Amino acid sequence: MVAWARPTEKSGRVAGIGVDEVAPCHAAGGFDVTYVKADGARMRGIKAPRADEPALPAERHHRCCPIVAATVIGRPLDETAAHRPERVAAVTGLSRRRADHGRRRWRSLLASPEGALQGVPAAARVVPVINAVDDAATRRARRPPRRRLALAASARFDRVVLTCHHKSRTDPLVAIIER
């Protein structure tokens, strides 16, 4: 694996390369696949992009993997759970005051053309990733009704991937939910 980054003024961090630099780096490296981290949530579990985000290279045409954290399910939509919670509320149409709409929140955000699908070409395959799935969340997500709800968010989804970052797991893949 090769990663490109550049220095930044932020302590302990690096900055990415510009979107216009992705194709030349891909070609120069002779790679079959290049992954681009296009939009970050500032260490929070969910976010909605601004109008000028995500920063995707013009050559994007294969896959897009929008990511939300399972840890936001059932939590209030505030600054601890979301980067730009007001934008998430605007995109999903959900209130910031209620905590009981967590599953609807991430499903509607993943399926929204102003949310996770913003800037994603119609021909791209979209495979949402629900990250930070711990044992309890895994049990809930694997129940048959939850599978249908995750996939029902958009006709563009033929699968949803569940992953875990818990250090006790040697394989971060928890499950692949398919139609």
SS (H, E, C) the chain: CCCCCEECCCCCCEECCCHHHHHHHHHHHCCCCCCCCCCCCCCCCEECCCCCCCCCCCCCCCEECCEEEHHHCCCCCCCCCEECHHHHHHHHCCCCCCCCCHHHHHHHHHHCCCCCCCCCCCCCEECCEEECCCHHHHHHHHCHHHHHHHHHCCCCECEEEEECCCCCCCCCEEEEEEC
**pLDDT in the model for residue 103:** 60
Q: Is the pTM of this model over 0.85?
A: no
**pLDDT in the model for residue 169:** 74
**pLDDT in the model for residue 135:** 63
**pLDDT in the model for residue 102:** 55
The segments of the chain whose pLDDT lies below 70 read 39-43, 59-61, 95-105, 135-150
